[in-house]
Structure formats: structure tokens, C-alpha cells
Amino acid sequence: NKARRIRLMRTRLLQTGDQEHVLLLTMHHIISDGWSLGILIDEIAELYAALKEGREANVPELKVQYADYAKWQRDWMDGPVYEHQLSYWREHLQDVPVLELPTDKPRPPVQTFHGAYEQVKIPAALTARLNELSHSQGATLFMTLLSALYALLQRYSGQSDICIGTPVANRAREEFERLIGCFVNTLALRVDLQDDPRFVDLLMQVEDVTLNAYGHQDLPFERLVDELGIAREKSHSPLFQVMFTLQNASAEHELRLPGLDLELLPSVMQTAKFDLTLNLTERAEGLVGELEYNTDLFNRDTVHRMVGHFEMILEAIVAHPHLRVSELPLLTDKEQQLILREWNHVDASYDYEDTVHGRFEKQVAATPQATAITCSGQSLTYSELNARANQLGALLRARGVKPDDLVGISLDRSLDMVIAILGVLKAGGAYVPIDPANPGERKQFILEDAACKLLVTHSSVGDDIPRGSYEALYLDELSDELAQQPVDNLEPNAGPDNRAYVIYTSGTTGKPKGVLIPHSNVIRLFTATDQWYGFAQDDVWTLFHSFAFDFSVWEIWGALFYGGRVVVVPQAVAKATEDFYKLVVEEGVTVLNQTPSAFTQFIKVDEMQCDQQTEWANRLQLRYVIFGGEALDFSALHTWNERHGLNQPQLVNMYGITETTVHVTYHRITGDDLAKRASLIGRPIPDLDVYILDSHMNPVPVGVPGELHVGGQGVCQGYLNRPELTEERFVDNPFGATVKRDNGLYDCLYKTGDLGRYLVDGTIEYMGRIDHQVKIRGYRIELGEIESTVSQHPGVRESVVQVWTDDNGDRHLVAYVVSDRADLDPAQLKAVLRKQLPEYMVPAFYVVLDELPLTANGKVDKKALPEPEAATGTAGQYIAPRNETEEQLVEIWQEVLNREQIGVKDNFFDIGGHSLLATQVVSRIREQFNVELALSVLFEDPTVEGIALHLLEAELGGTDDDELAAMLAELENEPDNDPE
Ligand code: AMP
Ligand code: MG
């Protein structure tokens, strides 16, 4: 209603040579669409020819104008068909999930529409076969290609409920056909791939969905989005995130002007309307077009691979249309070779033909007088340790221990603990570590489950072990008897394939389960990793971890297989980081193994020592710090890096699982890693394979997450007494690349339950536990990704993000942060996060802790985190409403948020609001104020005060559609020097 001079079309004629010109034509979509372009070209041709020939142009008079169409559409929207179509779409699109394709970069909180495209060329022969397939199934080429695209997206996302957008010309009435204007409409086509359909069945479904959509195509898309009350996230486009278009070359209007040679120049687009848009045109030479992609999300090489996978699918469906979606081959031969073979090179030459105690005995012979072990001021040389272990071994044999027998050990961290481990092994048995610090119930469960007949313990801990059908050997009471045993090595009775230990792991559900590890697994762990470390006699290790956690296996034998010294860290010292730090300095420790959680504490103490220049400052002699046990957040290493760099000591991340013998992968941490949000775990140890597979055991492409499966010589013999669970977790290896041992034990894969993906160079990125993925309001959320963003905040040392369900059953994200600063302001932290993360990933609640609770194994104990009090939201000081508008708004918020006191300066998103609730606020404002508030206003100014101001402006006659206003303003501001 305001008179504006708006230029929606712009032309430039550039002279590039005597006889050569370039015509630039720029039009806004608001006045045109693809169909309009054809009309425009036809009319220009006619006008040009007429002008040249000096005749009257033959351009037909228009029967109607665009305004007539607009009026017609408005009337239509008041009619009954509108309601009918609306209810169709409501049903079709109810609760449609967001398509979460794996992206190369974290999704920005607000879409920027930066884009690029990758060429797509489908050869004529394949195109012909695609047409044949379409005909034979009574479908169109469009439907076949669209079906293939669903299949591709399913395989990339793992989702089975997928919606793709496609444009329709929407020129329903003949009189609209000659009009230039924006008629085009968008249809959201949703299919269900839950049952892993055969391709032909998918095609039938797509045909159905498409035809139905055509039958209800008049409802304008933007209207539909409003009507459905879709939560508009600024990070995603609503309803669908991928678009597909197929153009018909015959519909392309060739530009022909008399006396001129014309050629269409390609236009370089640097925008992307959606995450992905596949544009194809059918021509004589085949299907040509491009895959347009958002460059904030995807790297070029990823999209290039994606195009290759799309072609693989097309090849497959013409040859085998009855394959299921999961069966369609995706990887090219080259990719298969790379992922399955080159990145999983198996070197079988590693020595594993030894026993743990056998290898130790060789080291005793080599360095008998070297100190093997230290604990609280006491030490033993290799020969002393060996002698005491031999005596215990002899006694255990005398009590009937035979190869593979399970012997419990429940001892505090002490020299005796290591003697006991060696003694059990020398007797031929396998040890079952039972941490005295564990609850009695767990200890009893383990003893009973393992059916240990003997328990090696100490009278000081033994009393609290529940009595059962086992015999307890109290080392302190047996000292006389032990002293009478021979000190010589025992005649070996167990070999490499016999059990060495059974460690109980909790797993996420149910009872602990015993993991059976043979001697050879431990032997090869060291030979296969030796190339990286070169552990030696002058190394000093700490036994920091409980012997019931398999990191301890690495710590003990990493020292004792090489003539090094292991310092047993008493429980109390392990828990007091400052004491532990002093121990590391004073003992001259060179190899330190840590969970990332424990090391964060260590960094803090190190920083303090250096700052205060204490006598322990700058005296670390570490060669290696090896991380394991949980995801490493690289950003936690910044301050360490500033003081020590990453090479001295060398920081290494090793991913591993009890079932695969301590470690699986190796990643040397570099400076580049520190800036990444990804937790990189590197490449498998050479005698192990890692396969990243989808739920149908297909290898996934680079960049696509899948479940990590581990094969090779570290895989264990299964679970004790749990055949079904063993069968479930240890599956046949379909790739057959692993080395077969006589007993066939190694030709299987362990399903880890961990998510990961390959980077282009074969490095694996760890992405969390499969069962820890959370969904909130339809969005799949990786808590780890939020955690690492939170941790990057300068005041935050550590963070854990969890889901918390409030009394109303609403789920919220809670950030637990450990800060160095007393004045960390959660509101400010949240404000920063909202700039970095999509709204649905920003935690609603913040709990500042002095430190994170840890489990006995040194991992974060998520169950022990406190519940946030709803009151700890980041609302500011209370200010009551000051006028009627604010009062009404406060009432709306109170209802929507189900909350009593709301101040006019409270941030909607801080007091429990989220995007879904935001749409409710908008619709209530529409009802009460009769104003169409753009949802973006609520995002940008989420206070009662701010909204009230906007309402006031709207009342004063401002436009109520900010986006249009901004767009028009932009157009008006463009340089204005061409003739009108
Ligand atoms: P456990 O068997 O107790 O050692 O636990 C194994 C689990 O710890 C793995 O399945 C992973 O979820 C996790 N884990 C171990 N090492 C790492 C690592 N370096 N990065 C991330 N997660 C790890
Ligand atoms: Mg482990």
C-alpha cells in the first residue's frame, strides 16, 4: 500500500568484441519462475524480430493479469477445496522428521544459503534403461529418479521417514499459461522406507505419493508451513531439506533472434536454497544437471562422492530393480578397495606365540636386577618379583589350579596385587580382578558368575567379600607357607591360547559380563604397537587404573615386558590429583595413561604448579600421554598445549574396548586437531580391522557414520557363560580379511555399539555410543558435539551435556560445566552458544560444578550428576509488565511455558521456551492482537518487552512481513544506472 519504486528486473548488455555481446538478465523470483522465463524468451524473440523487420509485433493480448491470479487464489483459499487439500497435507506431513544428513562441518545456527554445485551426468545408455524401467513399472522417469534419491538419502542418513521437495508449475488454468509471474509451488513428498522396500516397491510408493501430491498441489507451500505450525528453526528449511527437480529439455525455450548467433552462458550460482538440490534435465546426451549443496555443511569432495553413489544406485536399479534399498551397492570398486583393504591392512607376522608370564620371565632373565615395581616406598627387582610370583604360583598349583581355571583376586593396589596376578598366570590359571572398592553385591555377582574356586585376597579386604563356595587365600596369613615354596620358574602348563584374565564390564544395560582374554591377545597388543612407542628399560609407568579396568593390563605389561618400572598408585593418591602429580614428578614417570576426564584434572594441577612456581613445577619427564576409555575433547588440551606443546610428551589418543584387548586404534594428536570439534581416534592397530557398517552390515562411505566393528587378533573369545550375548555381539566377518587361527576364534567381528566415520584420509572420528543418541523435538542430537562447543568457551574447563526430563515430561538439555572462574555467567555462556549452535542444540539449563563425578574407572559418572533445579534457568531480575500489551504477552507466555512469574526482560528460551513453543506464542499473538508476528522476531528479541515493541510498530502501520520488507529494501538499494 506504500508507493515504492521497486526494480525487480535488471538487464545489462556488455560488449566483449566487435561482434560479440553478453546480455545479463537478472530477475527476482518474486516476479518470475522457470515457466515465465520461456514466455519471456519467446516474447523477446518476437519483439526483436518485429523491431528489426519494422512490423507490428505479434504478442497476444493477455486475458488476465497476475493480480487476477492473486485474487483468484485468495478466493480459492476461502473455499472448500482449500480445506480439503489442507487436511490432506496435514495428514501426509504430520510429525515429519528433519532429514539429518551427515555433514562435514557443524551446522551453523542460522542458514546462510552459501552454496556451490557439482556436475551430474548420466550417460544416454543408462538414461535409456532408466526410462525402460520406468515404463515397465508404469511410472515416469521423474518418479524413478526420485526413488533413487530417496534410497541414497536413506543410506546416508540411516533414516527411513524422508521428505523431499519438488516444484510444480502450478498453472492450473489455461488463462494463466501466458502470464509472467511467480506461480511455482513446492510439494513435499514423504515416503516410508521402514521395511527396507525392494526398489520396485519403493517406486510404486513414490508413484502413489507423487500422484496424490499432484492432486493437492494448489495449496501454497508457505501457507502450508504456517498452517502446520511447524517449528521454524533458522538452521533448517521447514518440512524438507532436500529438493529434486527434473526438467524436460523440450520445454526449454531456445533463444533465436534473426541475424544473431546465440548461446546460453552458464550462470555461476554461489547459493544453495536447501541442504541439497538435485537438478536434472533430460537431453539427447543423457541426464545432465547438478547437485547444488550448502557449502556451510558439505565439502566439495563429499558431494562429488555422493554423486558417484547416486550413479551407483541408478546402475543397480536398472540391472536389479528387485534389490532392497539396503542391498543397493553404494561404494565404487575403488572405494571398496580403499576402505575394506587399504585402510585395514592386516599384517599377520606379529608374534603372539607366547604367554604373558612367559614373556615376563624372559625379561627377568635379561634384567634381573632392574627395579620392576614400586609402591609407597617399597620396591622389588625383576628377580624378586619373579621369585615371589613363582612361590605363589607353586602354592596355587598345589591347591589345584589348572590351565584356564579362573582365580579371583581381590586386593588393594599394592606389590601383592601384581605378585598375585603373576602368580595366578604362572600357575596356569586366569585371573578375575575384583576391585575391593566395588559394592559387595557386584563382587558377589562376579565371584559367582565366574565360579572361582579360589580367591586370592588379604585379611584386611577379605572380610567384606561375601562368603560363597570358594576358598579364600589370605596372603598375609600365608606368608610362612609361601616362603617355603620354590622360587624357580614353574614348568609352563598354559599356552598362548589359554585364558589370561576375565574382566567384567558393565555395559549399558543389565548385569556385568565377563570378557575372556587369552594370553596371545596381550602379547600381540605390544608387538603390534611397538613401532609407534618403542617402550624401553628406562620407562617409568604408573599403574593408575584399577586392575579391574583393562587399561591396567597395558600399564603393567607396558613396563614389565620391556624392563621398565611400574609405580603402583595407591587408591588415595589416584583420587587426589595434586598428590598424583607430585608422584609423577618424583618418580620420573615417562608413560602416563589417562582417561580424558582424569587428565583434565591433571592439566589443572599442572597449570597451578607452573603458575605458582612450586618445587614440582616444570619437572615432568613424560614421553607419552596416552588417552583412552572415553571420548577425548581436543579443545580441553589448549592450555596444556600452550605450556608443553604436543610432542614432548607426545599425546596419543587410543580407542579401545575390553572385548578387543585394551586398544583398537592409534591417533597421534597434532596442533590441527585442537581446533576441531571432532574426536579423532585414528587408524586401527595393524593386526586389527575396523569396519564402519550400517545396520545391514554394509560398509558406509567416507563421511557417513556407522557402527564400528572390530576384527583381527585382539578380539576376545566371547563372554563367560553368555552364549546368546556372545552370538549377538560377535558376528561373522563378511569381509573375511582377518587372519584365521586354528580355533577359528578370530574370524569374527565385535559389534562395538560405538558410532564413527571415516575422514578422507582414513582417520576415524569417534561419534559417541549408538544408544546415547538423543532425539529432542525430532532433531537427532549428538551430545558430544554440544559438549565440545561448550568446552571451547574460555571460562569452561570441562562439560557434560545430558537430557533431563522435567515433571511435565518435557525433555531439556542440561549443561554441566566445570569452570576456572568464580564468575562464569551461564546466561552469557548461553548467549555465546546460541551464536554457535542451532537452537535445538543449545542447553536450556546450566549447572556449574567444582568437578565432574568420576566412576571407579576414571570415566565421567553420568548417573551421579545432579538434577538441575528448574529455577537454575538463566532468567534475569524480575520486572513486572508495565502496560497492557506487556500484560497480555506475559499471560500468553505463562500459559505456553506453564510458569508462574515471568518478567518482561526474561529470555523466552532461558525459561523453558523452545521453537515449538515459540510457534504457539506466535499463533496466540495472531489470535489476540490480530498481528502476524514473524517467528524470527521472537528468536531475535525473545523478551516480552521486545515483542511488545514490535506489536506497537505493527500497529503504527509498519509492514508486518519483515522478510519482504528487507528484500525490497535490498532491491531498491541496488545500483540504479540502467535505462528503465
Ligand atoms: P571399556 O570396555 O570399559 O574399555 O569401554 C569401551 C568403550 O569406551 C568404547 O566402546 C567406547 O565407547 C569408549 N572409549 C574407549 N576409548 C575411547 C576413545 N579413545 N575415544 C572415545 N571413546 C572411547
Ligand atoms: Mg578399554
Rounded to the nearest whole angstrom, what is the distance from the C-alpha of residue 791 to the centroid of ligand 2? 24
Q: Are strands 748-758 and 764-769 parallel, antiparallel or unpaired?
A: antiparallel
The DSSP secondary-structure symbol of 338 reads I
Residue with CA closest to ligand 1 atom 18? 655
**What's the grid cell of residue 717?**
573369545
Atom of ligand 1 nearest to the CA of 664: 16
**Rounded distance from Cα 658 to ligand 2 centre (Å):** 5
- For the CA of 627, the nearest atom of ligand 1: 19
Look at residue 971 in the predicted model and tell me its pLDDT.
Answer: 47
Contact, 754 vs 774, CB < 8 A? no
Confirm or reject: Cβ of 770 under 6 Å from ligand 1.
no
Give CA–CA dist 468/470, Å, rounded: 5
Beta strands, E only, 524-580: 540-543, 565-568
Compute the distance between CA of residue 762 and CA of residue 331 in angstroms, rounded to an integer: 15
**325 contacts 197 by C-beta, under 8 angstroms:** yes
Pick from 840, 846, 844: nearest CA to 818: 846
Ligand nearest 860 Cα, by number? 1
Q: Dihedral of CA 703/704/705/709: which sign?
A: negative
792 in helix, strand or coil?
coil
Instruction: Please tell me whether residue 398 adopts helix, strand or coil conformation.
Output: helix
Q: Ligand nearest 597 Cα, by number?
A: 1
Write the CB contacts of 975 (distance below 8 Å, at least 6 apart in sequence): none
Residue 112 CA, ligand 2 centroid: distance in Å: 41
Query: Ligand 1: does its nearest atom lie under 6 Å from the Cβ of 682?
Result: no
What's the CA gap between 398 and 392, in Å, rounded? 10
Query: What is the residue type of 793?
Result: H
How many Cα atoms are found within 13 Å in the side-chain-facing hemisphere of 585? 18
Measured between alpha carbons, how far is 339 from 72 in angstroms, rounded to an integer? Answer: 58
- Using DSSP's 3-state secondary structure scheme, residue 489 falls into coil
Pocket flag, ligand 1, residue 755 (CB < 6 Å)? no
The closest ligand to the CA of 551 turns out to be 2
The residue among 682, 687, 727, 686 whose CA lies nearest residue 708 is 682
DSSP code of 862? G
Is ligand 1 within 6 A of the CB of residue 769?
A: yes
Residue of 655, 660, 752 best suited for mutating to test ligand 1, as the one with most atoms within 8 Å of CB: 655
Q: How far lies 411's CA from each of 399, 417, 833, in Å?
A: 19, 6, 47
Distance from C-alpha of 137 to C-alpha of 332, rounded to nearest angstrom: 27
CA distance 606 to 636: 14
CA-CA-CA-CA torsion for 712, 714, 720, 723, nearest 10 degrees?
-10
Closest CA to 857 of 544, 592, 465, 604: 544
Classify residue 250 by its DSSP letter: G
For residue 665 and ligand 1, the question of a CB distance below 6 A is answered with: no
Which cell numbers in the block locate residue 708? Answer: 564400528
d(CA 367, CA 362): 9
Q: Would you say 410 and 457 are in contact if contact means Cβ atoms under 8 Å apart?
A: yes
State which ligand 1 atom lies nearest to the alpha carbon of 632: 20
- Report the C-alpha gap between 544 and 553 in whole angstroms: 11
Burial of 38 per CB tally in 10 Å (0-12, 13-18, 19+) = middle
* pLDDT 10s digits, 154-168: 999 999 999 999 999
Q: What is the pTM of this model?
A: 0.84
For ligand 1, say whether the CB of 546 is within 6 Å of any of its atoms.
no
- How many Cβ atoms from other residues are within 10 Å of residue 405's Cβ? 20
According to DSSP, the residues that pair with 12 across neighbouring strands are: 24
Looking up cell 566415520 gives 757
- Alpha-carbon 785 to chain mean position: 7
| Integer CA distances (angstroms), 821 to 797, 835, 854, in order | 9, 22, 21
Q: Residue 827: which of 864, 779, 874, 886 has the closest Cα?
A: 874
Residue having the nearest C-alpha atom to atom 19 of ligand 1? 655
d(CA 44, CA 35): 15
Distance CA 734, CA 715 (A): 16
pLDDT of residue 887: 92
- Whether residue 681 has its Cβ less than 6 Å from ligand 1: yes
pLDDT at 743 (0 to 100): 46
Ligand 1 centroid vs 297 CA: distance in angstroms? 28
Kindly give the number of the ligand 1 atom that is closest to the alpha carbon of 659. 2
Distance 366 CA to ligand 1 centre (A): 35
Predicted pLDDT of residue 331: 96
Residues of the chain with pLDDT below 50 are 1-3, 508, 738, 742-745, 871-875, 958-960, 967-968, 971-972, 974-980
pLDDT of residue 875: 44
- Measured by CA distance, the residue closest to atom 4 of ligand 1 is 657
Cα(513)–Cα(67) distance, rounded to whole angstroms? Answer: 73
pLDDT in tens, 417-470: 999 999 999 999 999 999 988 877 788 889 999 999 999 999 988 666 777 778
Which ligand approaches the C-alpha of residue 709 most closely?
A: 1
CA 200 to chain centre: 32
505 lines ligand 1 (CB under 6 A): yes
Expressed in angstroms and rounded, the spacing between residue 470 Cα and the centre of ligand 2 is: 29
At 26 the pLDDT is 87
Instruction: Please give the backbone phi and psi of residue 889, each rounded to the nearest 5 degrees, phi first.
Output: -65, -40
- Give the separation between CA 395 and CA 417, rounded to whole angstroms: 16
Secondary structure letter of residue 107 according to DSSP: P
H or E segment and range at residue 188: strand 185-192
